[in-house]
């Protein structure tokens, strides 16, 4: 079952269309009247402007003062924490107007919502991470130029009301995200009006991308705290439930994060509005710290994805048979490792001298030319479902001698669940010697199998990433599952990520094997398949 649908039920979306007017219509003029009261909290401390960075190529005439001499016997105080601005709370929208029950008319800025929410969650992050940094925040209009994720990796945008981005804001945000930045959206008090606007406006930023529900094994829920339940209040009723967040990804990085339930009240320490939908107390703080920790840990990965990856068209020799890399295109997140074929093919040729064709090949499972590739690769990190034609095409390909190698990108659970389910549709049963039909399923491949123990470089143990070991400290052998057709390994699957390591991606949250072992595994898989 797909999860690429909009994050709210269709009935709610239809209601919002009727309530808030045509989605593409421009907003009303300034001083728009609203029926939900503005959020209130104490003003935050003054937001400091972020320091300007200096590139390594610049020179300065300012020399550091050597300072007074200090005897070895003198006590030394630890250095003060480094001040580092990491977040802009972005200014957007218009002036709004609310009439209180006593007739008092209040005018307020749409973007501000709780004035101290960003200041408080950054302060909580300093306390909880305690990493020697003094993180700070600032504010900046979203339509102003100069958003650079190298300086400020996080944008934070919150509110309760419907909004529409200007063209300048869309352009700025798209560039910021593609350059490696992250934006966190939160409906301050869980109002659907704000959430639906986010969903609509992000289609202007990335028309081909959809929000996906973030799984519970994602680092957004585990970066600092393992957060499997949150305390929630809806219409004054409190209960616990799994946390809910949605993302639009670049690679496997959550570049746009939407938390539809309100965090602003808990972050501000103010009373909960009974008409709101809130995440409460400590669980809201932990979710906020997790999100900031996740973004800080993903900055290098974001910069890696922001590169321009060359697509080589060369061959190691003029003609004849050679290995061709083919990746499966399907309805899910199939293309999350840019330039992967370069890393794989270079590693294969440099270590084995097998001739390769560097031209990238993208194939569909229902493509008649699928049989031109004896080995195809498939990856992804979210839920997906194959079409009947794709199921039929893959089944035919495997039974005619082809091999599928699949891995869960970043080692995330949704792809693992979907792949195991979909492969059962492809070959639900195979004929045995007595012509009876028995269910065929993925079985664990032991580390003594020739695909690991023989060939180019025998592999018994591999090194897993810290993120994978966080879930299972006992990992040390290759974790692969296989589906056999008449004693031939037709499908090889691992729920762990081998592509990020193979591509040398700086993905701190990838649950997989490290770079050297990822290359060794890939070469063994290719050479074993070609020789069988």
Least trusted range by pLDDT, from 133-147, 298-312, 342-356, 438-452? 438-452
- 101 and 186 co-located in one domain: yes
Q: Provide the whole-model pTM.
A: 0.85
Phi, psi for residue 406 in degrees, rounded to 5: -130, 150
The pLDDT of residue 437 is 47
Locate 304 and state its tokens: 């890696």
Candidates 142, 168, 146, 144; CA nearest to 156 is 142
pLDDT in tens, 347-358: 999 999 999 999
In this structure, are strands 253-259 and 182-187 parallel, antiparallel, or unpaired? parallel
Examine the fold and report which residue of 246, 275, 305 is the final residue of a domain before the chain moves on. Answer: 305
Instruction: Read off the pLDDT band of 308 (50, 70, 90).
Output: confident
- 231 and 358 co-located in one domain: no
Contacts of 199 (CB under 8 A, 6+ apart): 6, 7, 8, 211, 258
Tell me the DSSP string of 40-55. --PPPSPPPPPPPP--
Instruction: Read off the pLDDT band of 314 (50, 70, 90).
Output: confident
- 429 and 298 co-located in one domain: no
The pLDDT of residue 410 is 95
- 155 and 228 co-located in one domain: yes
Instruction: Give the CA angle between residues 390, 209, 310 to the nearest 5°.
Output: 85
Locate 84 and state its tokens: 């580092």
Contact 304, 341 (CB under 8 A): no
Distance of alpha carbon 38 from alpha carbon 188, whole angstroms: 10
CATH number, position 459: 3.40.50.12140
H or E stretch covering 86: strand 82-91
Distance of alpha carbon 481 from alpha carbon 493, whole angstroms: 5
Candidates 392, 359, 364; CA nearest to 376 is 364
First CA to last CA distance, the chain: 35
For residue 88, is it within any domain? yes
For residue 312, is it within any domain? no
- 243 and 292 co-located in one domain: yes
Candidates 216, 268, 234, 195; CA nearest to 9 is 195
Q: What is the length of the chain?
A: 532
- 14 and 137 co-located in one domain: yes
Instruction: Read off the pLDDT band of 51 (50, 70, 90).
Output: low
Instruction: Read off the pLDDT band of 315 (50, 70, 90).
Output: confident
For residue 314, is it within any domain? no
pLDDT in tens, 2-20: 444 444 433 344 334 334 4
Residue 517 belongs to domain spanning: 323-531
For residue 405, is it within any domain? yes
Distance of alpha carbon 350 from alpha carbon 370, whole angstroms: 27
- 431 and 375 co-located in one domain: yes
The larger pLDDT score, comparing residue 50 to residue 420, is at: 420
For residue 5, is it within any domain? no
- 292 and 332 co-located in one domain: no
For residue 53, pLDDT beyond 70:
no
For residue 378, is it within any domain? yes
Phi, psi for residue 398 in degrees, rounded to 5: -65, -40
Instruction: Read off the pLDDT band of 41 (50, 70, 90).
Output: low
Contacts of 411 (CB under 8 A, 6+ apart): 467, 468, 495, 496, 497, 510, 511, 512
Locate 337 and state its tokens: 């490792």
Per the structure, the count of domains in the chain is 2
Distance of alpha carbon 311 from alpha carbon 204, whole angstroms: 28
Distance of alpha carbon 119 from alpha carbon 414, whole angstroms: 34
- 439 and 501 co-located in one domain: yes
- 251 and 358 co-located in one domain: no
- 360 and 300 co-located in one domain: no
For residue 1, is it within any domain? no
Mean pLDDT, range 299-305, rounded to an integer: 94
pLDDT in tens, 175-206: 999 999 999 999 999 999 999 999 999 999 99
- 285 and 328 co-located in one domain: no
The pLDDT of residue 72 is 44
For residue 69, is it within any domain? no
The pLDDT of residue 78 is 58
């Amino acid at each position: 079952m797909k999860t690429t649908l909009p994050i709210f039920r269709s009935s709610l979306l239809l209601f919002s269309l009727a309530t808030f007017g045509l989605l593409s219509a421009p907003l009303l003029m300034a001083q728009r009247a609203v029926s939900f009261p503005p959020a209130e909290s104490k003003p935050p401390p003054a937001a400091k402007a972020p320091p300007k960075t200096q590139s390594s190529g610049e020179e300065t005439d300012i020399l550091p003062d050597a300072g007074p001499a200090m005897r070895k016997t003198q006590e030394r105080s630890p250095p003060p924490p480094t001040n580092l601005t990491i977040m802009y709370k972005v200014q957007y929208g218009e002036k709004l107007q609310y009439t209180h029950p006593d007739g008092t008319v209040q005018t307020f800025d749409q973007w501000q919502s709780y004035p101290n929410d960003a200041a408080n969650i950054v302060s909580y992050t300093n306390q909880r991470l305690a990493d020697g940094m003094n993180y700070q925040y600032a504010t900046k209009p979203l339509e102003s130029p100069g958003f650079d994720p190298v300086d400020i990796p996080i944008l934070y945008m919150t509110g309760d009301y419907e909004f529409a981005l200007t063209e300048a804001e869309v352009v700025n945000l798209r560039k910021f995200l593609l350059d490696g930045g992250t934006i966190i959206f939160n409906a301050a008090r869980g109002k659907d009006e704000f959430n639906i606007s986010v969903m609509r406006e992000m289609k202007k930023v990335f028309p081909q991308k959809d929000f996906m529900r973030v799984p519970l094994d994602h680092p957004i829920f585990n970066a600092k705290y393992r957060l499997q339940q949150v305390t929630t209040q809806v219409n004054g009723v409190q209960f616990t439930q799994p946390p809910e967040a949605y993302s639009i990804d670049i690679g496997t990085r959550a570049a746009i994060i939407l938390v539809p339930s309100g965090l602003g009240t808990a972050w501000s320490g103010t009373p909960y509005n009974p008409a709101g939908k809130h995440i409460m107390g400590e669980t809201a703080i932990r979710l906020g710290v997790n999100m900031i920790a996740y973004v800080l840990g993903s900055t290098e990965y974001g910069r890696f994805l922001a590169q321009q990856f060359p697509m080589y068209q060369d061959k190691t020799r003029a003609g004849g048979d050679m290995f061709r890399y083919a990746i499966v295109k399907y309805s899910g997140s199939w293309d999350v490792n840019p330039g992967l074929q370069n890393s794989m093919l270079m590693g294969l040729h440099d270590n084995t001298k097998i001739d390769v064709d560097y031209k990238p090949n993208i194939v569909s499972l229902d493509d008649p030319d699928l049989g031109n590739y004896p080995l195809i690769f498939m990856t992804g990190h979210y839920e997906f479902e194959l079409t009947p034609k794709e199921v039929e095409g893959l089944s035919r390909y495997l039974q005619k001698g082809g091999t599928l190698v699949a891995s869960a990108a970043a080692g995330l659970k949704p792809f693992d669940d979907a792949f195991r389910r979909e492969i059962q549709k492809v070959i639900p049963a195979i004929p045995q010697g007595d012509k009876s039909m028995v269910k065929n399923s993925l079985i664990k491949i032991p580390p003594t199998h020739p695909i690991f123990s023989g060939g180019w470089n025998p592999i018994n143990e591999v090194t897993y990433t810290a993120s994978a070991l966080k879930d299972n400290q006992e990992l040390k052998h290759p974790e692969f599952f296989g589906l056999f057709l008449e004693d031939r390994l037709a499908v090889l699957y691992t729920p762990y990520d081998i592509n990020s390591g193979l591509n040398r991606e700086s993905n701190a949250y990838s649950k997989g094997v490290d770079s050297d072992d990822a290359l060794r595994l890939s070469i063994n898989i290719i050479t074993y398949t070609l020789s069988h």
